[in-house]
Chains A and B, each alone.
Chain A
Amino acid sequence: MESVVITITSGKGGVGKTTCAANIGSALGMLGKRVVLIDGDIGLRNLDIVMGLENRIVYDAVDFIEGRCRLKQALIRDKRAPELYLMPTAQTRDKSAINADQMVRLCDEMRGDFDYIIIDSPAGIEQGFHTCLAPANRCLVVTNPEVSSVRDADRVIGLIEAAEKGPAQLVINRIVAARVKRQEMLSTDDITEVLSTEIIGVVPEDENILIASNRGHPIVMNGKSPAALAFQDIARRITGEDIPLQPLRASGSILQRLFGRA
């Protein structure tokens, strides 16, 4: 099978791109797929620490592109799944260290060896975004149920279409069922309607995500918390399984639910 390159992007920073890349990639790996995660956020790398692989970095993507190491040396094997790899990026360089052509070539080197190549993009719509978009076969746009990130998502969806990389698919992250119910948070339907873009998954706000990052264990790897289940569903939808969007599972205790403090 030819690799599918999936770019995860958002426009706005801090909405959960890196969390989604780590978890969707891990979930695909745990389904037995051959996966490589590329950190596209040059100078602000984070995928390594969220994955818990930061201590194993010797070489990075920029080293490979500039000829200082072989491809294999820049790939970190994650033994928690049969074939899951991380390609970290340089921490002390800037977004211009890899251009679009180089990113395309980097992915081409790995096409054929992996089922999925997942690229975690930087925030913004400048060069770093275009670099990560260039090799994409498929784009996931992460948004939060909140006006500024939805607006930025719209802009990014437009840019993805203009680059003929569409149609983008949406991941709505950090939704709180109780707040949607109280009509103080945009719902999944509101966002689909406003953006007219297909949704590939809805991830609830989940306090276990912080704990997972603290430990360097993506949440899909252990447990059945609401966010873990949501990421597993997204991974299976990516592989082509037809899994209907689940109704929101309210998280927290019954008391919290009653009083709407998830």
Chain B
Amino acid sequence: MNILKQLLSGSNTAHTAKQRLRFVLIHDRAEIPPGLLELIKDDVIAAISARVPIDRDGVVVQFEQQNSESRVLVDVPLLALNGERKGAKRRP
């Protein structure tokens, strides 16, 4: 029954486990708790929206680690004055 249920729902919890582990390990290794990124995101939204209109819901703040370099990636979609997203830039 299990197998059938899974074929039907297409659930692959091993994959989910792997994705969640990847995420949590990036933060564990860098000693940057995921909640800190939320705080940074709030700061970024406050700072940039004070100057230009932005799509607040579209803001992405990500931590990335490659070899020995770590960086915070910030993606802030701008809004045109009419409230539409500017340009055709897609978020990753």
Spell out A's residues near B (CB within 8 Å): 146-147, 150-151, 154-155, 158, 180, 182-187, 190, 193-195, 259-260
- Within the complex, what minimum Cβ distance (angstroms) separates B23 from chain A? 10
**24 A-B pairs (CB sep. < 8 Å):** A146-B17, A150-B21, A151-B25, A151-B28, A154-B25, A154-B28, A154-B29, A155-B28, A158-B29, A180-B14, A182-B2, A182-B3, A182-B6, A183-B12, A183-B13, A184-B13, A186-B14, A186-B17, A187-B14, A190-B14, A190-B17, A190-B18, A194-B22, A195-B25
What 6 pairs across the A-B complex have the smallest Cβ distances? A183-B12, A183-B14, A190-B18, A184-B13, A194-B21, A147-B17
Residues of B within 8 Å of A185, CB to CB, are 14
- Within the complex, what minimum Cβ distance (angstroms) separates A177 from chain B? 13
8 Å CB contact of A194 from B2, B12, B13, B18: B18
How distant is the Cα of A187 from the Cα of B13 in the complex, in angstroms?
11
Please, which residue of chain B has its CB at the minimum distance from the CB of A179? B14
How distant is the Cα of A225 from the Cα of B17 in the complex, in angstroms?
29
In B16-53, which residues have CB < 8 Å from any A CB?
17-18, 20-22, 24-25, 28-29
Contact (Cβ within 8 A) A147 B21: yes
Contact (Cβ within 8 A) B12 A186: no
Number of interface residues of B (CB under 8 A): 16
Further pairs besides A186-B18, A190-B18: 19, Cβ < 8 Å = A150-B21, A151-B25, A154-B25, A154-B29, A158-B29, A182-B2, A182-B3, A183-B12, A183-B15, A184-B14, A185-B14, A186-B14, A186-B21, A190-B14, A193-B18, A194-B18, A194-B21, A260-B2, A260-B3
Interface residues of chain B: helix, strand, loop or mixed (majority): helix
Q: How many A-B residue pairs have CB under 8 A?
A: 45
How distant is the Cα of A76 from the Cα of B19 in the complex, in angstroms?
46
Residues of B within 8 Å of A190, CB to CB, are 14, 17-18
Residues of B within 8 Å of A184, CB to CB, are 6, 12-14
Residues of B within 8 Å of A260, CB to CB, are 2-3
- Within the complex, what minimum Cβ distance (angstroms) separates B63 from chain A? 16
Task: Digitize B59-82: 1 where CB-to-A-CB distance is under 8 Å, 0 elsewhere.
Answer: 000000000000000000000000
- Within the complex, what minimum Cβ distance (angstroms) separates A185 from chain B? 6
Contact (Cβ within 8 A) B25 A194: yes
Residues of A within 8 Å of B28, CB to CB, are 151, 154-155
Residues of A within 8 Å of B3, CB to CB, are 182, 259-260
Please, which residue of chain A has its CB at the minimum distance from the CB of B29? A158
How distant is the Cα of A194 from the Cα of B3 in the complex, in angstroms?
26
Among B6, B18, B20: residue with most chain A CB under 10 A: B18
Residues of B within 8 Å of A193, CB to CB, are 18
Residues of B within 8 Å of A182, CB to CB, are 2-3, 6
How distant is the Cα of A194 from the Cα of B20 in the complex, in angstroms?
10
How distant is the Cα of A102 from the Cα of B29 in the complex, in angstroms?
31
How distant is the Cα of A182 from the Cα of B12 in the complex, in angstroms?
8
- Within the complex, what minimum Cβ distance (angstroms) separates B62 from chain A? 18
How distant is the Cα of A259 from the Cα of B12 in the complex, in angstroms?
17
Contact (Cβ within 8 A) B20 A147: yes
Residues of B within 8 Å of A187, CB to CB, are 14
